[in-house]
């Protein structure tokens, strides 16, 4: 094994432990300094902050770091996530220790942030000197090169020049500062290149850091410091310069410490480079985030006024993310080569982030405090003057969870777990009871479903129907409870129960969830929710199911850890989790359908109240200071995209199939191809004119949602056609041959082999196209009507009418003009229709979010189809 | 026996002569003689004067041959000699090539497959095909196997079938298991039937393709150089498999590899440049004592 690929353990000896921990902590302090300096540059915290203000910052920081390190360490201890690298562990613990120590210092002494920065740099500097000397004297076994190298030397020479010139400029007159600069460059360059690497790459860094520390601590450059160069109208202030010093000082120290930690030499250089790149990447991301932040900041106060969400609701929404993050963290990190540490740290980062957030949220619930952010936004007053209004965005300690907030994530998780569990067919014995349950569940389920349909059609006009319906709901819930308990009986039948009666688990749990789900749908159609006293029966059975699912999952996990059939137990654990989520979904559905909150003691599942976003969830208020929202425009845009997609996607894909699979490639296809390409690059306003001149006279002679849908559909069509054609063409002919050789007809082949294989490409086209049409403004002005004064959202679903004559289906809502986000922006900002400018920016922000949401739906479905192709 | 040898020698001489001197008629007669293979029982496939053109390219010239049931017939010859074209005529895969023009007759159990009334679905169910490069669908192993039967309506699965009480999951499992066992793949994949077929090794993929072909219960299996893309170990597995399959199926296999043809086939047909079938006889005969000088040259490596 060559040195370059040696694992870390090769170089780790017991007596070097203290040295390693020391340097890990130094790196951690460097990272901490870097992050704090970035926060100071971004003015998140001011340099002069001290006392309560700084205490708050450090308390939050401590919570974040504790959550991150704590959750990761906890999962590592439970063997859910592997953290093998000693370096990752060391830096993690170092971060924890350094953060807690700094927090303690801040609390105890009440120093200003700027002083703290100086101290941090001083500590960094001293540790580096210690590490360098330890290596030089041979107290630690290292492999330094003869020199730190020309490149490093040049960098330090440059830094030396800067320091020399600055110091010279402060004390000397005229061009002499140049001499001082050159002197500094020579000193640092020689000091880096001439000595052995362990001295050459620690002492210069320590010196630079010490200079920064001295400048800051002596107050030579403090928050009040100003530099006004001639010829510039502005200047530089200490508020920016001090954090920049800390930023660079921390970067240098982390780099040097990383080199020391990896014992210099080739490995040292690599680790050092990795750390610098990592921190630079963090900075890049931070810069990009701040650019987006600046762009949206103009609209954000308006868009997010009065936003509120309960902490528990947020926690529920975190659950799917946690599962994703754990999944990512469980991926093997490859070989045990030393730089697997890098990959490991990337893998566990999301888990750590969620841990931080969860700790903060739980903290809110426990302490009962509200995490709020106060700000003000402006609206247009009566006399068209800007009126500032105070508002606040808050995470409340509320323990109510919105019904849909609960139902959606848990439904996704239930399906996810269920799909990941492998089939237990043929495992264990088949008892007569199992047979009976397996036969009974579909019968009862179908009966309940038929009853639901009957109640939808007939209604509950007669009292007797309600009585019967109540009976059915009770029977359904009882059957669900029975099936669920049947799953539990696998556990009670002895230690081998989970293996012998393996199929009890899937049959019982799936049966229970299905039956209760059908019952939950039956309930609102009968308009009853039977129960004993204050406890309704459906949520009670759902809670029972949650418990049973959890018990089964834990039992299976324990059985697996004791050793045994991995596949069976893992499947059962996943099925248990799936049932937990499924029953929670039903709990949410029950609350949503019946409108009655479900009280769970510590928490409540409520229909309203846990989430409020006035700007998006309220309708437009025509006049007055109360700003109202853009709900009709959001709904309008969503309907436009949905309508255009339903029109264009089948047509485009169908045409692509026809052009690619059925007709010969020749002049006709060439003409069609040119035409579609030309159509794709046609200006959108031309589409609008086409719609206004051709469609509107034929669609009730008024601008309408339907006309908007059709015009946007025409715009979407060419892109869908082009990308689908490319995707279908790229499906290998081998698949078609293989299918034909089995005697399968062409259409069947297209349907079951070609289209699934082409799906990711088709979806990519749809994603691009939808992104374009969602933000399209010009044609909508012409065909949709750009009215802001629509107080009501288009109620498309509730407006379907069945007619006895052609066209048989009529929808009043799509025949009317409505609002859309892009036209709303145009109207407020460009045309000056009512509302302040910030209202327009807010609308733009919401439009961005809507497009982003559509993108993410597209990307998720593309990933799904790709996975299906690649892994199944 | 001695008479035959004499005849052969005379024939060989006359061929070599005729290469310079004409006498096309006698050459034609000789070719007919050499390609007429006699065997007991009715032929499974009977090809009569088959000609194929790809545009102006005359790819197959007047090929006639009878293929016996439940045996392995190897088609060998240099590249571009028309052996794959011939194979693709046997289940009308050449119909899929727009510029292909086919004349002549191919009978399967005595009924003409180029009859306009022939049911292509039925024909291709009876005459299955395995391609040169393994081409499993990007689906699970199970779905690859059950694809054919499902599309032919032999089994029904899915939610709708289950609701209507017609879920054939057990039958599907049976077909999958039987086909994979026949293709000698069951042992290797029985625990991961729901994994993607593209995750299998090349040799396993090819055996999966054979299993997929077997799942629709064919009578004839056409194989177009089934082992040319595989390593030696996978090749020998496929060869063993072909020999086993010949007990129940009529196998026609195109191969580039003469040793392979000698190892696995019962009879061998040699195609030479220009799309001619030059000689067709028992494999031993072809490899030990061919009638035609050109075939001997080809087999001993002097040409081709």
Condensed to tens digits (0 to 9), the pLDDT of residues A260-274 reads: 888 888 888 888 888
**Quick one: average pLDDT of A10-20?**
60
Question: Bridge-partner residues for A115, per DSSP?
Answer: none
Contacts of B140 in chain A (CB under 8 A): 872
**Quick one: average pLDDT of B262-289?**
88
Of A596-605, A787-796, A855-864, the one with minimum mean pLDDT is: A787-796
Pick the residue from chain A with its C-alpha nearest to B191.
A567
CA distance B115 to A745: 19
Token match 């180029």: residue? B114
CB contact under 8 Å between B151 and A748, yes or no, is yes
Task: State the pLDDT at residue A12.
Answer: 45
**Quick one: average pLDDT of A793-808?**
68
Q: Where are the alpha helices (DSSP H) in A493-565?
A: 497-500, 504-526, 537-561
Task: State the pLDDT at residue A454.
Answer: 84
**Quick one: average pLDDT of A151-175?**
87
Pick the residue from chain B with its C-alpha nearest to A424.
B191
Structure tokens at B292: 């035609």
Tens of pLDDT, residue by residue over A301-330, are: 888 888 888 888 888 888 889 988 888 887
CA distance A41 to A239: 8
**Quick one: average pLDDT of A208-229?**
86
Question: Bridge-partner residues for A532, per DSSP?
Answer: A535
CB contact under 8 Å between B148 and A745, yes or no, is no
**Which tops the pLDDT comparison, A434 or A297?**
A434
Q: Are A850 and A638 in contact (CB under 8 A)?
A: yes
CATH no. for B36-300: 3.40.50.300
Structure tokens at A486: 């049947």
DSSP conformation class of A5? G
* The pLDDT of residue A724 is above 80: yes
Q: Name the helix (H) or strand (E) containing B134.
A: none
* The pLDDT of residue A7 is above 70: no
Which of A423, A752, A872 is opposite residue B196, by nearest beta carbon?
A872
Q: Are A40 and A340 in contact (CB under 8 A)?
A: no
CB contact under 8 Å between A748 and B194, yes or no, is no
Task: State the pLDDT at residue A624.
Answer: 55
CB contact under 8 Å between B93 and A869, yes or no, is no
Task: State the pLDDT at residue A593.
Answer: 83
Task: State the pLDDT at residue A291.
Answer: 66
Q: Where are the alpha helices (DSSP H) in A139-234?
A: 150-171, 176-193, 197-200, 203-217
Task: State the pLDDT at residue A786.
Answer: 58
Task: Classify strands A400-402 and A371-380 as parallel, antiparallel or unpaired.
Answer: unpaired
Name the band, by pLDDT with cuts 50, 70 and 90, for residue A146.
confident
For chain A, the residue count is 872
CB contact under 8 Å between A735 and B148, yes or no, is no
CA distance A754 to A661: 10
ipTM of the complex: 0.84
Token match 């699912």: residue? A549
**Which tops the pLDDT comparison, A810 or A729?**
A729
Token match 């294989």: residue? A757
Q: Are A761 and A727 in contact (CB under 8 A)?
A: yes
Environment class of A818 (CB within 10 Å of its CB; exposed 0-12, middle 13-18, buried 19+): buried
Half-sphere exposure of B209 (CA within 13 A, CB side): 31
In order of A23, B11, B13, B149, B297, the CA distances from B7 in angstroms are: 94, 6, 10, 52, 19
Structure tokens at B3: 């008479």
Task: State the pLDDT at residue B23.
Answer: 57
Whether the CB of A756 is below 8 Å from some CB of chain B: the reply is yes
Sign of CA dihedral A581, A586, A587, A591: positive
CA distance A775 to A783: 15
Sign of CA dihedral B19, B25, B26, B29: positive
Sign of CA dihedral B87, B89, B90, B91: positive
Contacts of B135 in chain A (CB under 8 A): 732, 734-735, 737-738
* The pLDDT of residue A8 is above 70: no
> Between the CA atoms of B47, B49, B50 and B52, what dihedral angle is there, to the nearest 10 degrees?
170
Task: State the pLDDT at residue A6.
Answer: 34
Sign of CA dihedral A587, A589, A594, A595: positive
Domain boundaries, chain A: 402-606, 628-793+803-870
CA distance A354 to A200: 41
Name the band, by pLDDT with cuts 50, 70 and 90, for residue A13.
very low
Domain boundaries, chain B: 1-35, 36-300
Of A534-543, A643-652, A709-718, the one with minimum mean pLDDT is: A534-543
Q: Are A39 and A250 in contact (CB under 8 A)?
A: no
Q: Where are the beta strands (DSSP E) in A247-332?
A: 308-310
Task: State the pLDDT at residue A381.
Answer: 66
Give the distance from residue A732's alpha carbon to the nearest chain B alpha carbon, in angstroms: 9
Q: Edge-to-edge, what's the strand order for the sheet holding A386-396?
A: A371-380, A386-396, A308-310, A611-612
Task: State the pLDDT at residue A384.
Answer: 67
CA distance A264 to A180: 32
Pick the residue from chain A with its C-alpha nearest to B136.
A735
Of A73-77, A187-191, A782-786, B292-296, the one with minimum mean pLDDT is: A782-786
Interface test with A, best of B123, B126, B134, B147 (most A CBs within 10 A): B147
Contacts of B209 in chain A (CB under 8 A): 738
Residues in B whose CB is inside 8 Å of some CB of A read 91, 93, 96, 98, 120-125, 128-129, 131, 133, 135-140, 147-148, 151-152, 194-196, 198-199, 209, 212-213, 216
What three-state secondary structure class fits A599? Answer: strand
How much is the mean pLDDT over chain B?
82
How many inter-chain contacts (A to B, CB under 8 Å) are there? 78
Which residue in B243, B222, B270, B267 sits closest to B108, CA to CA? B222
CB contact under 8 Å between A743 and B121, yes or no, is yes
How much is the mean pLDDT over chain A?
83
User: Per residue in A702-723, is it b (16+ CB within 10 Å) or e — as a string?
Assistant: ebbbbbbbbbbbbbbbbbbbbb
Give the distance from residue B183's alpha carbon to the nearest chain A alpha carbon, in angstroms: 16
CA distance A409 to A414: 9
Half-sphere exposure of A66 (CA within 13 A, CB side): 13
* The pLDDT of residue B192 is above 90: no
Q: Are A220 and A226 in contact (CB under 8 A)?
A: no
* The pLDDT of residue A798 is above 70: no
Structure tokens at A837: 């400018």
* The pLDDT of residue A108 is above 50: yes
How many Cβ atoms are within 10 Å of A61's Cβ, its own excluded? 21
Q: What are phi and psi of A192, to 5 degrees?
A: -85, -40
CA-only gyration radius of chain B, Å? 21
CA angle B197, B202, B207 (to 5 degrees): 70
Domain A628-793+803-870 architecture: Orthogonal Bundle (1.10)
**Quick one: average pLDDT of A528-534?**
75
* The pLDDT of residue B98 is above 50: yes
Task: State the pLDDT at residue B100.
Answer: 85
Token match 């095909």: residue? B129
Whether the CB of A665 is below 8 Å from some CB of chain B: the reply is no
What percent of chain A shows pLDDT beyond 70?
A: 90
């Amino acid at each position: 094994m060559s040195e370059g690929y040696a694992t870390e353990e090769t170089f780790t000896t017991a007596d070097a432990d203290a040295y390693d921990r020391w340097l890990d902590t130094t790196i951690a302090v460097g990272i901490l300094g870097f992050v704090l300096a970035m926060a100071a540059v971004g003015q998140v915290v001011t340099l002069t902050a001290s006392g309560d203000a700084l205490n708050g910052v450090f308390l939050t920081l401590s919570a974040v770091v504790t959550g991150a390190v704590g959750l990761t360490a906890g999962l590592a201890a439970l063997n859910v996530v592997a953290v093998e690298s000693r370096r990752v562990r060391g830096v993690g613990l170092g971060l924890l220790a350094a953060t807690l120590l700094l927090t303690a210092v801040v609390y105890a002494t009440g120093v200003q942030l700027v002083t703290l920065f100086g101290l941090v740099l001083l500590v960094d500097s001293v540790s580096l000197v210690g590490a360098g000397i330890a290596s030089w004297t041979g107290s630690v076994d290292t492999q330094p090169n003869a020199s730190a190298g020309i490149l490093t030397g040049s960098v330090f020479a440059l830094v030396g020049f800067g320091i020399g010139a600055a110091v010279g400029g402060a004390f000397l007159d005229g061009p002499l500062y140049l001499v001082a600069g050159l002197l500094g460059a020579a000193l640092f360059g020689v000091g880096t290149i001439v000595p052995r690497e362990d001295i050459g790459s620690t002492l210069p860094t320590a010196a630079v850091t010490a200079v920064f520390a001295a400048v800051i601590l002596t107050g030579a450059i403090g928050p009040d410091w100003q530099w006004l160069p001639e010829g510039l109208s502005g200047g530089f202030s200490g508020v920016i310069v001090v954090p920049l010093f800390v930023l660079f000082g921390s970067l240098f120290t982390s780099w040097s410490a990383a080199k020391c930690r990896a014992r210099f030499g080739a490995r040292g250089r690599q680790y050092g480079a990795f750390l610098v790149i990592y921190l630079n990447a963090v900075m890049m991301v931070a810069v990009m985030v701040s650019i987006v932040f600046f762009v949206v900041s103009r609209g954000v106060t308006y868009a997010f006024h009065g936003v509120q969400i309960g902490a528990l609701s947020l926690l529920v929404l975190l659950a799917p993310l946690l599962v994703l993050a754990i999944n990512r963290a469980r991926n093997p990190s490859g070989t045990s080569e030393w730089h697997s540490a890098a990959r490991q740290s990337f893998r566990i980062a999301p888990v750590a982030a969620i841990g931080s957030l969860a700790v903060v949220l739980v903290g809110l619930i426990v302490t009962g405090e509200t995490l709020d952010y106060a700000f003000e936004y402006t609206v247009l007053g009566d006399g068209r003057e800007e009126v500032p209004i105070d508002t606040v965005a808050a995470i409340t300690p509320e323990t109510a969870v919105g019904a849909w907030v609960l139902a959606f994530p848990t439904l996704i998780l239930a399906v996810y777990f269920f799909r990941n569990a492998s089939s237990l067919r043929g495992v264990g014995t088949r008892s007569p009871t199992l047979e009976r349950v397996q036969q009974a569940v579909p019968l009862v389920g179908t009966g309940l479903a038929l009853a639901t349909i009957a109640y939808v059609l007939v209604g509950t006009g007669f009292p007797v129907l309600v009585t019967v319906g109540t009976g059915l709901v009770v029977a359904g819930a009882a059957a669900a409870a029975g099936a669920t308990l049947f799953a539990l009986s696998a556990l009670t039948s002895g230690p081998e129960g989970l293996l012998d009666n393996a199929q009890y688990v899937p049959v019982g749990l799936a049966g229970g969830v299905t039956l209760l789900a059908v019952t939950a749908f039956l309930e609102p159609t009968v308009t009853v929710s039977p129960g004993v006293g204050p406890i309704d029966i459906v949520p009670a059975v759902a809670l029972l199911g949650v418990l049973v699912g959890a018990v089964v999952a834990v039992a299976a996990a324990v059985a697996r850890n004791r050793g045994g059939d991995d596949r069976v137990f893992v499947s059962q654990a996943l099925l248990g989790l799936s049932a937990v989520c499924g029953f929670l979904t039903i709990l949410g559905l029950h609350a949503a359908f019946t409108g009655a909150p479900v009280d769970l003691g510590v928490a409540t599942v409520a229909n309203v109240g846990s989430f409020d976003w006035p700007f998006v969830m309220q309708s437009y208020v025509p006049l007055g200071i109360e700003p109202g929202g853009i709900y009709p425009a959001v709904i309008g845009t969503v309907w436009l995209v949905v309508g255009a997609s339903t029109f264009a996607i089948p047509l485009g894909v169908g045409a692509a199939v026809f052009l690619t699979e059925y007709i010969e490639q020749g002049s006709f296809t060439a003409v069609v191809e040119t035409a579609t390409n030309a159509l794709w690059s046609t200006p959108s306003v031309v589409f609008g004119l086409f719609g206004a001149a051709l469609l509107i006279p034929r669609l009730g002679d008024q601008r309408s949602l339907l006309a908007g849908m059709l015009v946007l559909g025409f715009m979407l069509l060419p892109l869908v056609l082009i990308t689908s054609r490319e995707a279908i063409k790229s499906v290998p002919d081998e698949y078609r041959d293989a299918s034909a050789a089995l005697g399968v007809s062409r259409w069947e082949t297209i349907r079951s082999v070609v289209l699934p294989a082409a799906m990711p490409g088709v979806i990519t086209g749809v994603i691009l196209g939808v992104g374009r049409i969602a933000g399209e403004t010009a044609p909508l002005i012409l065909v949709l009507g750009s009215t802001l004064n629509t107080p009501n959202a288009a109620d498309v679903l509730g407006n379907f009418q069945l007619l006895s004559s052609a066209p048989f289906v009529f929808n009043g809502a799509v025949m009317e003009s409505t609002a859309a986000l892009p036209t709303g922006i145009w109207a407020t900002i460009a045309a000056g229709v009512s509302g302040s400018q910030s209202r327009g920016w807010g609308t733009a922000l919401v439009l961005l979010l809507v497009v982003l949401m559509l993108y993410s739906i597209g990307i998720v479905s593309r990933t799904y189809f790709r996975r299906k192709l690649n892994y199944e | 026996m001695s008479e035959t040898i004499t005849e052969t020698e005379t024939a060989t001489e006359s061929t070599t002569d005729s290469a310079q001197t004409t006498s096309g008629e006698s050459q034609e007669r000789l070719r007919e003689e050499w390609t007429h293979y006699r065997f007991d029982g009715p032929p499974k496939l009977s090809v009569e004067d088959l000609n194929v053109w790809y545009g102006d390219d005359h790819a197959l010239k007047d090929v006639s041959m009878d293929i016996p049931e439940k045996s392995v017939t190897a088609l060998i010859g240099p590249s571009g000699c028309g052996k794959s074209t011939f194979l693709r005529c046997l289940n009308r895969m050449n119909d899929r090539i727009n510029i292909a023009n086919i004349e002549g007759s191919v009978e399967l159990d005595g009924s003409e497959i180029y009859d306009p009334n022939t049911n292509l679905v039925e024909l291709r169910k009876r005459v299955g095909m395995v391609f040169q490069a393994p081409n499993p669908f990007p689906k699970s192993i199970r779905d690859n196997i059950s694809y054919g039967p499902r599309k032919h309506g032999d089994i029904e699965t899915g939610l709708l079938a289950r609701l209507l009480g017609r879920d054939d999951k057990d039958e599907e499992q049976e077909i999958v298991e039987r086909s994979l066992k026949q293709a000698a793949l069951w042992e290797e994949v029985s625990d991961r039937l729901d994994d993607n077929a593209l995750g299998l090794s090349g040799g396993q993929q090819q055996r999966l393709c054979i299993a997929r072909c077997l799942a629709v219960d064919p009578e004839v299996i056409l194989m177009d150089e089934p082992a040319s893309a595989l390593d030696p170990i996978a090749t020998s597995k496929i060869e063993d498999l072909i020999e086993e399959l010949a007990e129940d199926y009529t196998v026609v296999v195109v191969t580039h590899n003469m040793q392979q043809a000698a190892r696995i086939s019962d009879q061998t047909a040699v195609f030479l440049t220009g799309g001619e079938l030059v000689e067709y006889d028992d494999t031993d005969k072809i490899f030990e004592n061919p009638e035609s000088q050109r075939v001997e040259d080809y087999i001993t490596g002097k040409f081709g």
